Amino acid sequence: MTGTGDLGRRIIHCRERLGLTREQVAEHADMSPGYLKYLEENPDVPDTGALYRLADALQTTVPELLGGGQDRPPGHGPAMAHPTSEVLDQEACLRLIEPGGIGRVAFNGSHGPTVLPVNYTMCNGAIVFRTAAGGAMDRDLRSGMEGVDIKIAFEIDQIDETNREGWSVLVQGPAHHVSPDEADDVAGAEVTPWVGGERRLYIRIVPQQVSGRRIHGV
């Protein structure tokens, strides 16, 4: 996809998020699968009518499909008419966060309460992310006592602005620095921080308390 433009990448992302084939989206958008393939793989924009049909087929909006609002926090716009808040049990929470992605780690840092986004994955029932050895997070998450880990919070959420729905999961547990002797414990943890750099220290959070909520329509 060397020549794919921003629109093409967003079409692919939305289509895969919905679990739809190219043929299914093309049929709903009243265009040929070949033309949809062209839009996914080339930096081009269709006419206004086709763009609106495509956005409808992908359950999004034209501005979002064109990248509008990318520099704003999610959640703008009114809530749905009659939202329902559902309490999620632990099993449902863990199922939602199982695919991994980006979450937020919260702890008392050297400069006060701190919340930072990190890429994470689930490995052997634990949340695993990477940070820089000797860095600020590494130091802040150490208790200074042998065998004693600091308990922290980890939050993951997903917001569907188009349908005005979403969910959030909060995990609390000890932040354990994985030593070289424990490398086998995270051998399957394939996680690469977006921020890059030498972030080779693995932090593992074993969930002790898990809670979550989902907002949806009646």
- Looking at the DSSP bridge assignments, the partners of residue 123 are 126
Tell me what pLDDT residue 3 has.
Answer: 46
Query: What whole-number distance in Å separates Cα of residue 156 and Cα of residue 171?
Result: 8
pLDDT by 10-residue block (mean), the chain, 218 residues: 68 90 95 94 89 92 78 68 90 95 94 94 93 93 91 92 84 94 82 84 95 87
In the CATH hierarchy, which top-level class contains the domain 6-65? Answer: mainly alpha
In the chain, where does the domain assigned CATH 1.10.260.40 lie?
6-65
DSSP structure class, residue 79:
P
In the chain, where does the domain assigned CATH 2.30.110.10 lie?
84-216
Tell me what pLDDT residue 159 has.
Answer: 83
Q: Identify the CATH number of the domain defined by range 84-216.
A: 2.30.110.10
Tell me what pLDDT residue 184 has.
Answer: 82
Residue closest to 116 by CA, chosen among 106, 126, 124, 128: 106
Helix (H) or strand (E) holding 152: strand 150-160
Tell me what pLDDT residue 77 has.
Answer: 64
Residue closest to 213 by CA, chosen among 165, 164, 180, 172: 165
pLDDT in tens, 127-138: 999 999 999 999
